Structure 1
Amino acid sequence: MRNWGARVHEIRLQGLRAVVLENELLRVTILADKGTDVVEFNAKREDLDFVWWTADGLRGAPADFFDGYEGGWQEVLPNGGPPVEHRGARFDQHGEVAGLPWDYAIVEDTEEVVSVRFSVRARRVPLHVVKTMTLRSGAAALSIVEEATNESPVPIDAMWGHHLTFGRPFAGPGCEVRLPDGLDVHAHDGAVNPSGVRRLSGDPAAVDWSVLPEPGTPSELLYLTGFGEVGQYDVVDPQRALGLRVRWDATTMPWLWFWQEFGAHRDYPWYGRNYNIGLEPFSSYPSNGLPDAVANGTALVIEPHGTVRNWLEATVVVQDGDWKPMTR
């Protein structure tokens, strides 16, 4: 046991196995029993949690995604979007690894660095996922290195992504989304129009998406691409001079889904209670599910006994002239 420098603790949260990675600046809580959901990303000096929670919060790990969706950050594989059927397998919303318990092992535990390796085998496709999450002393940054291996002699189609969401207590009206220039922006055309959702008829430039609006603003779902080899965005609060920077391997996940829900959606599952955005690195688009990604050629194809790799970093940033990583 150690309560200084980098450290790791094994706990239970509402009956679920969880792992806490912590250092002088940051505390990150990961649910091993529920998809490795990140349910805390707390900048300790400011006592500010970047994780957004739904109105219902954590309610165990039910089979249905929305029934158990607490907010936070999910690993999505092999389906992104609503329930679908593909090659005889039925997948839930964002199914299936987000709803499974993962094994884990502490692989490094020193004052300088703590590192935990999580692993899971999907049940409806022969995919084995291994990811290592690391926190270093003196840095407000979580790093992830991961791989998905096809354990079969046939190619496997997949959508792979990270479902990161932001809302209270961090993100609200006036917060900014900072993205590289020159990205291609695609509107979510062709989807069924739920109540309160704005559609842009192919003209996403008509709205300034960089500043979060007032509650009650109709929402939209956009897809951004053109990052090159490394994707990056910042979500920042100019009033606090604080934000979060996310970087990832854009050769594996070339798309960024920009989900917005500002309280205008009055029906299931939100009922007007949510104010949040999602900025989600993904291998594929749109969010209509795996069959559509296969049809448009953006689905991952993991070759027989092949492996696809990804990395991702989430770093607290502060405004000191420019936006820079937080340090001691």
Structure 2
Amino acid sequence: MTSSLWLHNDHLSVEVRPDKGADITSITERATGIDILFRTPWGRSDLADAPVTGDSRTDWLARYGGGWQQLVPNAGDERTVDGARLGYHGEAAIVPWSVIDADDSRIQLATDLITAPLRLTRTLRLDGPALNVRDTVHNTADQPVPVMWVQHPGFGAPFIDEHCIITTPARTVLTDAEQPGNLLPPDTSAAFPLVTTADGATVDLRHVPGPSSGRSVFACLTDFDAGWFTIDSPTAGFGIRLAWDTTPFPHAWLWQECHASPGFPWFRRAYVVAIEPANVLPGGPSPGCPTRGRAPLLPADSSWTSDIVLSITDLP
């Protein structure tokens, strides 16, 4: 199994790991040499061979080196579906994928899951300063299957810092019911971007918190007029734009971890901002949102396809 494949052009270098979830582990803007993706404190080359503890959350996180994963068929805590125990954040990001085709500008990969009757394919292609990612989830069974599907790109320093600005046409932010972080109250809905904090102040979620802020946030952006966001980084001298079709992904999970959380896995060592296109609201049903965690059904012998474009942009 190939440990890393690379896409290269004059604008971008992209690392992909077929041996571990077809993860995108690095996206480097070549003019500056800046990798825009987050890397965990333990980021290392042998992630696919991390020790197994038997706890799916611990095991998934031990294999998480940062970067961009797909969460399929589960996202979030373990749950039982159709008689199978689906592990934390699902199977797709921890299993090896087969390489169908690869050159400097295009990579195609595929895998078949065990915990759900799904065949996944992923095609990555460079086009100037843009990375095009096409993902397909196909139900190989003769019955419908509930499938959670979340794209999981995390962005980190030196691209991310307290000078960054997030722009998106999402109209609503819904905080997590059980783990909203230390800034926002749980299980509340507010108009994006100005939201009320747990202590009654107002915060503008367009402004990225700095590494010394001690902030943690877990919420969900929804009610998109169109599927996209930008992050402009004056420090890096460029921005990024991630665009997607809201038909497969009507929501986007929002995660910020700024040296805030003690204990495993971060021990206050992580600085990451993530906006994650998703087909499901995070968590389980709650008083404020009874539809949380309700996975859509993928019909028998049918497919969902997602096209996502991540592009490097000039600052406004």
TM (norm. structure 2) is 0.86
Per-residue deviation, residues 66-111 of structure 1 (Å, max 9, x unmatched): 111111110110101122222221122211100010011226x5xx
- Cα offset, 1:296, TM superposition: 4.5
Check whether the contact 1:179–1:232 (CA below 8 A) recurs between aligned residues: yes
Instruction: Say yes or no: does 1:126 pair with 2:114.
Output: no
Matches within 5 A, 1:140-179: 140-179=129-168
Per-residue deviation, residues 183-242 of structure 1 (Å, max 9, x unmatched): 1211112x157xx623325265122111122324331111111224x4100112123331
Check whether the contact 1:52–1:169 (CA below 8 A) recurs between aligned residues: no
List, as ranges, runs of 4+ consecutive aligned residues in structure 1 with deviation greater than 6 Å. none
Check whether the contact 1:35–1:101 (CA below 8 A) recurs between aligned residues: yes
CA distance 1:67–1:251, shift in 2 (3 Å): same
Q: Tell me which residue corresponds to 1:187.
A: 175
Q: Tell me which residue corresponds to 2:276.
A: 280
Report how many residues are paired. Answer: 292
- Cα offset, 1:154, TM superposition: 1.1
- Cα offset, 1:307, TM superposition: 1.0
Q: Identify unmatched segments of 5+ residues in structure 2.
A: 53-58, 197-202
Q: Identify unmatched segments of 5+ residues in structure 1.
A: 1-11, 323-328
Alpha-carbon distance between aligned partners in 1 of 2:264 and 2:311, rounded to the nearest angstrom: 33
Instruction: Say yes or no: does 1:238 pair with 2:228.
Output: no
Alpha-carbon distance between aligned partners in 2 of 1:212 and 1:146, rounded to the nearest angstrom: 29
Matches within 5 A, 1:1-328: 17-58=3-44, 59-61=46-48, 62=50, 64-106=59-101, 109=103, 114-136=105-127, 139-180=128-169, 183-189=171-177, 191=178, 197-201=182-186, 202=188, 204=190, 205-206=195-196, 207-214=203-210, 215-228=212-225, 230-288=226-284, 296=292, 298-319=294-315, 322=316
Letter in 2 for 1:235: I
Superposition CA RMSD, Å = 2.2
Alpha-carbon distance between aligned partners in 1 of 2:61 and 2:111, rounded to the nearest angstrom: 21
CA distance 1:275–1:257, shift in 2 (3 Å): same
Query: Secondary structure of 1:78's partner?
Result: coil
Alpha-carbon distance between aligned partners in 2 of 1:38 and 1:288, rounded to the nearest angstrom: 28
TM (norm. structure 1) is 0.83
Matched-pair identity in %: 27
After TM superposition, the structure 1 stretch with the greater mean CA deviation from structure 2, 58-67 or 197-206, is: 197-206
Alpha-carbon distance between aligned partners in 1 of 2:80 and 2:129, rounded to the nearest angstrom: 40
After TM superposition, the structure 1 stretch with the greater mean CA deviation from structure 2, 306-315 or 231-240, is: 231-240
Alpha-carbon distance between aligned partners in 1 of 2:122 and 2:234, rounded to the nearest angstrom: 33
Check whether the contact 2:34–2:236 (CA below 8 A) recurs between aligned residues: no
